[in-house]
Amino acid sequence: MLKIYNSLHNRKQDFIPLEANKIRMYVCGMTVYDYCHLGHARVMVVFDMVYRYLKAAGYEVTYVRNITDIDDKIIKRANENAEPFTALTARFIQAMHEDEQALGVLSPTHEPRATDNIPAMLAMISTLIEQGYAYVGSNRDVYYDVSKFEGYGKLSGRRLEDLRAGERIAIDEAKHDPLDFVLWKAAKAGEPAWDSPWGLGRPGWHIECSAMSSSLLGTQFDIHGGGHDLKFPHHENEIAQSEACNGHQYVNYWMHNGFIQINDEKMSKSLNNFFTIRDVLQVYKAEEIRYFILNSHYRSPLNYSHEPLDNARAALTRLYTALRDLPNAEAPVNSEAEQRFRAVLDDDFNTPEAIAILFELARDINRFRREQNDLAAAETAALLKKLAGILGLLEREAESWFKGSGIEGLADAAIEALIQQRLLARTQKNWAESDRIRDELKAQGILLEDQAGLTTWRRV
């Protein structure tokens, strides 16, 4: 049985969906005012892996990942650029989709945008006001009254009295309590605004996800995911809003992935210690980044440096080498390796252990090659590709992996031409010219391999 570490209870629990064989899952997506960084990549890849595995396990999955396309940062950046906020967000939504595609991230079932769901937010805020959980401040902002929600803090383990005593909170005369959070922001001059019963304004961040998730998945659903940094206050506030509005539990299983760190500090734009996905793709292949992320358990912190990405490159080279030059075959059904692979993923999506099983299969392929058992090698290679595909790995042809990089360098045709020149030099016993061409290609990141009269090449 699938077990998921539920952040709501801080332990692994048997996963029982609300509807048999159906899963409804919501993941907090990006605020689109800049390029995505590696921390965003981890959220994308982790929950893409979860989505892929749940589907492979036979569930019908409805996966919602939202886009926040209106907030303070977006307005500030658009003003700095002297452009409409819609132009800014359209540009970075496109860039985000390009990054996702590069990383092999599947499209979610639904990808709602905040600005398309204002009516649902207004309806939810109105209900909260009617039920006494929200109020209109003297500044015309609408606030959620956290003191009215008995369960506030149950996800993050924080108590209101501790928050008040332990944190410095700016005094705001418009609020009843410094901990109250905004549901609707009254419009300031020159800002984008929508009409509401409380005057022109725009939604607060927290209400966006409550409204969009409930609209598309119902007022209670199975899984809610996001980065660990969203646990408080964002997800805590989502619970408070949604459960006060609807009168029952909002989400059954909460999943939070760990941070990507640089020098043991969280990677974030606010700390200015981030690398965009596009930056890293100038040096590493997208699949190397995906492997780097999945080779650590999703809940663990992950430290960014060149060393683990170099290790990812070497590991994928080993796996693709095992697949090289083998005929197509059918994978064995329900093999012992596949049962173990699914068992470790059933244990809270333990991808490092799943990847270890992929390497066992690669070793088996190499052993079958040495034994000249081509059929067994080909069948095991088919199984390797099948299981790796559940993680979104090894989806390219082996030759494409070795010869394509996605990074600027010598074109394939130019490499092939130099190899032909080198073969001619070798037939003429011009070893100096042969070595010169090999060294030239090596300097360009191209490694030649001579076997049985044939020369193959790969990028390194």
The answer to whether residue 460 scores a pLDDT higher than 80 is no
- Burial state string for 153-186 with b = 16 or more CB within 10 A and e = fewer than 16: bbbbebeeeebeeeeeeeebeebebebbbbbbbb
50 vs 399, residue with greater confidence: 50
Cβ neighbours around 71 below 10 Å, total? 19
The answer to whether residue 168 scores a pLDDT higher than 70 is no
With both helix axes pointing from N to C terminus, report the angle between 431-443 and 412-427 in degrees, rounded to the nearest 10.
160
In whole angstroms, give the CA distance from residue 202 to residue 441. 57
Lowest mean per-residue pLDDT among 22-26, 61-65, 190-194, 452-456: 452-456
Residue 408's pLDDT band (cuts 50, 70, 90): very low
Nearest to 270 by CA among 86, 37, 79, 2: 37
36 labelled binding-site residue: no
234 labelled binding-site residue: yes
Residue 421's pLDDT band (cuts 50, 70, 90): confident
173 labelled binding-site residue: no
In whole angstroms, give the CA distance from residue 46 to residue 294. 7
Beta strands 142-144 and 454-459: pairing type?
A: unpaired
For residue 126, give both structure tokens. 């109105």
Task: Provide the terminal-to-terminal Cα distance of the chain, rounded to the nearest Å.
Answer: 41
pLDDT at 270: 64
Burial class (CB within 10 angstroms; exposed 0-12, middle 13-18, buried 19+) of 289: buried
Q: What is the CATH number of domain 3-257?
A: 3.40.50.620
Lowest mean per-residue pLDDT among 111-120, 256-265, 281-290, 388-397: 256-265
The answer to whether residue 18 scores a pLDDT higher than 70 is yes
φ/ψ of residue 319, rounded to 5:
-70, -45
Rounded to a whole number, what is the largest CA-CA distance in the chain? 90
From the options 1.10.3720.10, 1.20.120.640, 1.20.120.160, 3.40.50.10680, give the CATH code of 306-396.
Answer: 1.20.120.640
What mean pLDDT, rounded, does the chain reach?
92
The answer to whether residue 406 scores a pLDDT higher than 50 is no
pLDDT at 167: 52
Residue 399's pLDDT band (cuts 50, 70, 90): confident
* Full strand arrangement of the beta sheet holding 265-266: 265-266, 260-262, 302-303
The answer to whether residue 294 scores a pLDDT higher than 60 is yes
Chain mean position to CA 286: 13
In whole angstroms, give the CA distance from residue 42 to residue 259. 8
Residue 46's pLDDT band (cuts 50, 70, 90): very high
The answer to whether residue 262 scores a pLDDT higher than 90 is no
The answer to whether residue 202 scores a pLDDT higher than 80 is yes
The 10s digit of each residue's pLDDT in 69-81 is 999 999 999 999 9
pLDDT at 417: 78
Q: Percentage of the chain surpassing pLDDT 70?
A: 94
Nearest to 195 by CA among 205, 186, 204: 186
For residue 402, give both structure tokens. 């070795």
pLDDT at 129: 98
28 labelled binding-site residue: yes
φ/ψ of residue 134, rounded to 5:
-145, 160
